[in-house]
Structure 1
Amino acid sequence: MSNSAWEREHIWHPYAAMPNPSPIYQVESAQGVNLTLSDGRTVIDGMSSWWSAIHGYNVPELNQAIEKQLKNMAHVMFGGLTHQPAIDLAKILLEIAPNNLKHVFFADSGSVSVETALKMALQYWQGQKNTKKTKFLSLTHAYHGDTFGAMSVCDPDNSMHHLFRDILPQHIFVQPEIESLRTTFAQHHHELSAMIIEPIVQGAGGMLFYDAEVLKEIRVLCNEYNVLLIVDEIATGFGRTGKLFACEHANIQPDILCLGKALTGGYMTLAAILCDPKISQGIQKEGNILMHGPTFMANPLACAVAKASIDLLLVSPWQQRIQNIETQLKNGLKPCLQSNKVADVRVIGAIGVVEMKEVMDISSIQAKLIEQGVWLRPFGKLLYTMPPFIASHANIQQINNAITMQCS
């Protein structure tokens, strides 16, 4: 039995059946924006490894950060101990994040950061001896992760987690429209612990965009009705939408901020939850502690490479790079609108989305894209790209061409 046949029989891939009937492409190496496959073909990674590898692959500065840290220690528990990489990373996160955020909790994945944020909100209200505020408000088409707490604040009807809707806690969902938001807050504020949102861009729930005025109104309503605001920037943080953090489009400050994905430049799994001091002070009333502690939280290797990734981003001309990518995606994908297969084309920052009218044959389209030298991960009706920020004009042109060919 060949390696590929054995793997399809035994290794379970994300969002796939087992045994896996879909083609799997083996990667031998990665350099810059390119993945080299086992058959010798090279493809541009238009997905940034699920939106995380913003600097591309095999980055000397990030390699060096891990190699240097590895000589000291690969890991040490964070309970009762600390280390310099965690301190350095926390410092720079608080320097670049909204300035009301003063405390950092490290976790080991985006989903776990959402779990932690939800716990923070619930424990905050417990500290205020308010036992009624136990619900969360989320947007329709929201996606916040695959663990159970995170799934409960994903849209129960329009997300991939609808299979679990009957066993998950029941929360409240609202359209990202100002009047709907005002009505929902007025009706439910007494039971709302927090509202959790993906700012400006809703990712895996449909790659949908909404206006900054809606984001501003959410912050106003949370203040007016005494509801905490959790901002999930796992997908949008670190420049993806053209701002360092997407909440900057509306110039708002969250009470709790979740970060992940591009935090380490795609090198290792790590997440961070930042909060306003009122959250931590509210929790610790009467000696309470935050009841969360992942084994690998603040992993030194991950913290070291995350600090190096942020340093690299900040010294790069990232704003101009994102602007160039946005302009090129807008121009290059616009012809897709002429196809009767296409429902919509939308672009913001380094995100380009073509929404088809019908669900696609993903395996067939992926094979065609690879023939064009491009790796993308379409889902449902969505053919989209979130390329590394270092992608050249020629790289983006190749991605655009590969996408538009699937629309003809």
Structure 2
Amino acid sequence: MDLIARDRAVLWHPYAAMPMAFPPLAVASASGNRLRLEDGRELVDGMSSWWAAIHGYGHPVLDAAVRSQVDDMAHVMFGGLTHRPAVELAELLVGITPAGLEHVFLCDSGSVAVEVAIKMAVQYWAGRGELRQRLLTVRSGYHGDTAGAMAVCDPDTGMHHLFSAMLPRHLFAPTPEPTFGKPFCTDHIAELAQLLAHNRDEIAAVILEPIVQGAGGMRFYAPAYLAALRALCDEHDVLLIADEIATGFGRSGKLFACDHAEISPDIMCVGKAMTGGYLSMAATLCTREVADGVSGAEPGALMHGPTFMGNPLASAVSLASIRLLLSGPWCDRVVRIEGRLREGLGPAKGLANVADVRVLGAIGVIEVREALPMAAMQAVLVEHGVWLRPFGRLLYTMPPYISTDDDVDLIACAMVSVAEQVGVVR
């Protein structure tokens, strides 16, 4: 029995039936931004392994960080103990994130980081004697697959609607208009402002993805919207949670998407690219006020403690990944990728079945009018020597920052080719 047959017999893959409707591709090795398959084919990775592997695969600096740390310790519990990689990682995160974020809770994954952020917000208000347990968010958002995170994903169009009856009922404002780079109108945030004003006494926090709505639709909205939201939260004394798990560490062209609006949230979640795609780790940062509010009242502690919290291997490789990013011309690389994507995806604008083409930083999107079966789309992409993971009506790429112009051109060409399968040039 070959590897794929063995896989299909026992493994349940993400967002898939059991067994998968179409067989997975078996990867033998990966280096740089190339995936080498068991059958000898080689694919250019346009996904950064779900947006995490910003330095590509097998980077010598990150490999060395893992090897060095495993010689000291692979893991030690974080309850009552600490270690240098975690301390140095937290210090670095505090130093580079928006001003005011002074405390770091290390988490197992992005979804867990969102869960922790929600608990921080609710516990903060409980410490002040206020029973605020609802959240306000926007439609078309995505924050993860655990229960608390699912509850703030879009309840109607999101992938978790089957579970809506069991989830807490939160408040949803309209999807922000995709107006990045265009004039902002205050009408765009009027309904959110109304919801906030009418429900402020029960809202613990507003949570949203800053600037880029990721898996909920790959939309880019105006920095002025985010700035206006920060002002509204201040006006109504409500916490602001920024979910930067997808956007953090340069993906949108700024180190953090909040930097586009020059705002600081009260709580911020980061993950994915933090470890360079090597291990699972995320972080939830908060202000001193939030930390003091949680810690200064009963029960006197944040009630969360993952088994693998602060894992030394993940901490060490995260530290190495962030230092590697900051030591190089990451911004120039992202700007270059953005330019190549704009040029390469441009021809798709003339296709009848294409609703929109949009690019921001190292993110490129073709939105088609009619959804295509993933198997058919991926077959065309693989024929072009490219690995992408389209979904619904979206063909998108978030390539590693090490991608060359030729790599980005190949990815863009493959995306346009897929779009051509369902459209004809006007």
Q: Name the TM-score class by shorter chain.
A: over 0.9
- The CA deviation at 1:178 is 1.6
Partner of 1:350: 362
Partner of 1:149: 148
1:341, distance to aligned residue in structure 2 (A): 1.3
2:223 is aligned with what amino acid? A
Task: Give the Cα separation in 2 of the matches to 1:407 and 1:380.
Answer: 13
Q: Deviations over 1:17-62 (max 9, x none)?
A: 0122212001000010100001100000100000000000000000
The aligned counterpart of 2:182 is: none
Cα drift, residue 355 of structure 1 = 0.5
Q: Which runs of 4+ in 1 moved over 2 A?
A: none
| Mapping 1:182-221, distance limit 5 Å | 182-221=193-232
Query: Residue type of the partner of 1:398?
Result: L
SS of alignment partner, residue 165 of structure 1: helix
- How far apart in 2 are the matches of 1:294 and 1:380? 33
TM-score, length basis structure 2? 0.94
Equivalent-residue separation in structure 2 for 1:286 and 1:201 (angstroms): 35
Query: Which secondary structure state, in structure 2, belongs to the residue aligned with residue 286 of structure 1?
Result: coil
What residue number does 1:11 align with?
11
The aligned counterpart of 1:136 is 135
Task: Report which stretch shifted further, 284-293 or 156-165.
Answer: 284-293
SS of structure 1 residue aligned to 2:30: strand
1:101 counterpart residue number: 101
What are the equivalent positions in structure 2 for 1:246-395 lying under 5 Å apart? Answer: 246-287=257-298, 288-395=300-407
User: Identity over aligned residues, as a percent?
Assistant: 55
Pairing 1:154-173 to 2, within 5 Å after superposition: 154-173=153-172
CA distance in structure 2 between the partners assigned to 1:407 and 1:74 by the alignment: 45
**Displacement of 1:334:** 1.3
Q: Residues 136-189 of structure 1: CA distance to partner in whole angstroms, max 9, x if unpaired?
A: 001100100000000000010011011111110000011223212222212221
- For residues 321 and 296 of structure 2, the distance between their equivalents in structure 1, rounded to whole angstroms, comes to 36
What is the number of residues matched between the two proteins? 407
Distance apart, 1:391 and its partner CA: 0.3
Q: Aligned partner of 2:359: which letter? A: V
Q: In 1, distance between residues paired with 2:256 and 2:154?
A: 23
Q: Which structure 1 residue ranges, 5 or more long, are not aligned?
A: none
Gaps of 5+ in 2: 177-187, 421-426
**Residue 9 (structure 1) shift:** 2.4
- Quote the RMSD (CA, aligned, Å): 0.8
What amino acid maps onto 1:350 in structure 2?
A
CA contact (8 A) 1:9 1:20 kept: no
How far off its partner does 1:3 sit?
2.6
Query: Per-residue CA shift, 1:369-402, capped at 9, x if unaligned?
Result: 0110000000000000000001000000100111
